[in-house]
Structure 1
């Protein structure tokens, strides 16, 4: 297999999903501006009668996005194992460009403000955004084998916080020209990204003839014959695979916390400390930097350990302390950024490991008997369940904040991460026992390979 082709696949899928995330960052980075436009604009009547109503609608938009995104993940994951995944990815990027422009730029340009229109276009945005992750993971699984999978996927899964960082930077740059231009610029970028995906990569190596029949004709023919009889699995069968349910519950709790930072961090910094919106956008980058560090180091360490769950549990336990510190750090930018980075390492880091390395582990375990047409389905199920949890969270976060304040929100996050730990604790105990049996000599098989008949 050509190393150059693998590099291209890695970079294109990394950048393409980074653009997916950058486009989602558009609304979270301009919430103060768009809220002010709804409440006080010379050319139209106020869209809401109070700031509380506007903030509640912003929370509802986030929740509707996540609900649509979660529901569509199950479908797009299922479809990604039945169609060419790069077409699914590109379709989502083109659809995202259209719906994001309609949501964020169209109302401002044409002085058309409607709660129904905002709701419809943002739900549509959530539906097409779900095209990306399951099919991206499936392509990565096709091109990169088990060797150093944790490190490779840890680096690759950092495309999410990298996308957030660039999304925040784009917002800070274009916000002075008007918040509507942040949406339009992100739309142009993701549309161009879709063109690159279609024109530059193949979904699996054997599509471009890397299997040599001349050198190993018999073996390659057997592999080709086996692949031709592979059948995509159902969502129900994917749900029953060893380890899938436990990690779905874990991800439902963890993704709620991770996406709460994604959606609300800039507004929190603006509300709590009266910092300028562009300043808050730039500072929020440190959470994503922490996510990159946690993702890369976590992938490398779990490869060396031979299992992933114990480190994920340790990181989540540390996140509870980090969240407590961040709730009380105060308006000191240096310390705020430092603790925010720690929160990113311990929250975003394990989340990236779960939806990246763990997704591939679960989608390629021995229980599937080598069926490569299960990866997108399993990944969509894992991420979709997490997104459902996140959708629920976006409804109650503004309610908790209005009634009890921001500190109470962070205490809720601490409880949720504790529940995430409990959901995978049995797997953690099993993996620790496995590591002890290996006497820390040869690298133990990764957690999924040892649990073929368990759960």
Structure 2
């Protein structure tokens, strides 16, 4: 039976683009079609978020062309011609520290805003919320670039603009993960979200290439063009993103239904179950209650250190490459920006690989911890041998990107979605954005600390910076020790059960 009032509500909440497609097709879109739209739109949305986030790392060498590590650069006319004279106030003696302060301001506001965004996202239409965030991000990213034509040399102008950009950027991640979690069940979630999470690296790569290309016309274009692009994608999202199946009036496929309804009790009839779940969905999960979900705190603190490493590369890798001789030669800003994209190419492979392995092993913690420990030797070899030749630099950068971004991608996608639909929530899916915000918000504090410390430590030695990153990777793995031990114990018990009863089915491991 259909309820006319519910059908009317669903029509009102349908995105205009979906209504247009259904009108042209003269029939409703299938569940699989909606899933495809969700994957494509959210992929483009968060890729554009990261593209605008990457631009500041590309223009750093134009703002501060002096090398803190090699006095040769300061006196070499050839290098001075390559890098230019800089942009006040960032081309002074403390220019590198000021750039680090910009990163800190952006990421500090981003991480704080993340907690509030998750709370708000669970309580309002995510399509509207994301559109506001993307338009705001594009506006303030462009305002940073406008400082080039307006000839603005006031540090606090750029500081305030970066802080406001960080605030609007924080709307993205909790919202897109929440939407994905509502459309896809736990089956193969690691692999699907591992592939989908390539948007992070694709966004970084496209942002680097676009910013590097326009750098020759003036660094302002490197900010304004990505800013305009995210506004366009935001309007596209407003037109087409279906937030959840209920909002567009489609029923979930059997394979995509969440696991928790059946786990509540096999002897209870389905109508009673559905009624109970719908009642619980009326109230969103509180902030402190979400912290108490098993596994949230360990993964959140692990991500703190994982993002410290990843975001140090995100913000400082092009700068490091342009100020480090590779096979005796220094690269231009544009060449350094293009080369740095290979780190994100490795990140795409790492995210997909980590998701696939965690699905096959049914062990998120073991996979994430293993990747973090493997990142330590990768960082060591890249620092000590990456400068010997371009080929070795490329190979080591790809490997480092794979191990650094693999666990970061896994934790922020599949793990967050798993914990946001944890069985302790008894079917309440309105914890997704809050749990995602807690995990990624905590990680983003680490993302703010890493680039800040790098801005100061790099003035003394880049070797010290890489030592800091290796320690951070080790600590990130340590935070998952208890969960790793629990997963190994469960695997051992399952194998012993298998010896005594090969027919018995092994239980699903919950992180």
Normalised by the size of structure 2, how large is the TM-score? 0.82
Match runs of 1:32-181 below 5 Å: 32-36=61-65, 47-48=88-89, 51-104=92-145, 106-181=146-221
Deviation at 1:262, TM superposition (A): 0.1
SS state at 1:328 partner: helix
Tell me the residue number matched to 2:360: 304
Residue number among 268, 286, 295 corresponding to 1:234 in the alignment: 286
Provide the rounded CA distance (Å) in 2 between the counterparts of 1:279 and 1:46.
20
Give the structure 1 partner of residue 440 of structure 2. 383
Alignment of 1:325-336 (within 5 A): 325-329=381-385, 330-336=387-393
Deviation for aligned residue 1:45:
12
Structure 2 contact 212–334 (Cα < 8 Å) conserved: yes
CA gap 1:415/1:4 in 2 versus in 1, 3 angstroms = same
Cα distance in 1 for residues equivalent to 2:129 and 2:363: 32
> Which residue of 1 is the match for residue 508 of structure 2?
445
Q: Distance in 1 between matches of 2:272 and 2:213?
A: 54
Distance in 2 (alpha carbons) for counterparts of 1:391 and 1:246 = 19
Which of 253, 261, 273 is 2:305 aligned to?
253
> What is the alpha-carbon distance in structure 2 between the residues aligned to residue 28 and residue 148 of structure 1?
35
Calculate the TM-score normalised by the size of structure 1.
Answer: 0.92
CA distance in 2, matches of 1:162, 1:414: 25
Q: 2:425 aligns with which of 368, 375, 390?
A: 368
Q: Distance in 2 between matches of 1:352 and 1:138?
A: 15
Q: 1:191 to 1:368 in 2, by over 3 A?
A: same
1:4 CA displacement: 1.3
Determine which of 46, 52, 60 is the counterpart of 1:17.
Answer: 46
Aligned partner of 2:402 among 336, 345, 358: 345
Partner SS state of residue 62, structure 1: helix
Give CA-to-partner distance per residue, 1:327-379, whole Å, 9 cap, x none: 11214211111101111111111100000011011111111111110000000
User: C-alpha displacement at 1:409, in angstroms?
Assistant: 0.5
**Considering only aligned residues, what root-mean-square deviation do their CA atoms show, in Å?**
2.1
1:270-285 equivalences under 5 Å are 270-273=322-325, 274-285=330-341
CA contact (8 A) 1:211 1:220 kept: no
Deviation for aligned residue 1:233: 1.2
- In the TM superposition, what is the alpha-carbon distance from 1:89 to its structure 2 partner? 1.2
- Aligned counterpart, 1:204: 244
Tell me whether 16-25 or 304-313 shows the greater mean CA deviation: 304-313
Once residues 192 and 384 of structure 2 are traced to their aligned partners in structure 1, the CA distance between those partners, rounded to angstroms, is 36
Deviations 1:136-173 (A, max 9, x none): 00000000011101101111112101110111111122
**Aligned residue-pair number:** 437
1:182 aligned residue (215, 219, 222): 222
Q: Which moved more, 1:371-380 or 1:175-184?
A: 175-184
Instruction: Mark the CA change 1:362 to 1:256 in structure 2 (over 3 Å): closer, same or farther.
Output: same
Instruction: Give the corresponding residue for 1:452.
Output: none
How far apart are residue 85 of structure 1 and its match? 1.3
| Match of residue 215 from structure 1 | none
Q: Please state whether the residue corresponding to 2:479 is helix, strand or coil.
A: helix
CA distance in 1: counterparts of 2:506 and 2:240, whole angstroms: 37
Which secondary structure does the structure 2 equivalent of 1:153 belong to? Answer: helix
**1:446 positional shift:** 3.3
Return the alpha-carbon distance in structure 1 between the equivalents of residues 157 and 271 of structure 2. Answer: 54
8 Å CA contact retained: 1:304, 1:443: no
> CA contact under 8 A between 2:31 and 2:251: conserved in structure 1?
no
**Change beyond 3 A, Cα 1:79–1:32:** same
The answer (yes or no) to whether the contact 1:307–1:445 under 8 Å persists in 2 is: no
Is residue 401 of structure 1 aligned with residue 458 of structure 2? yes
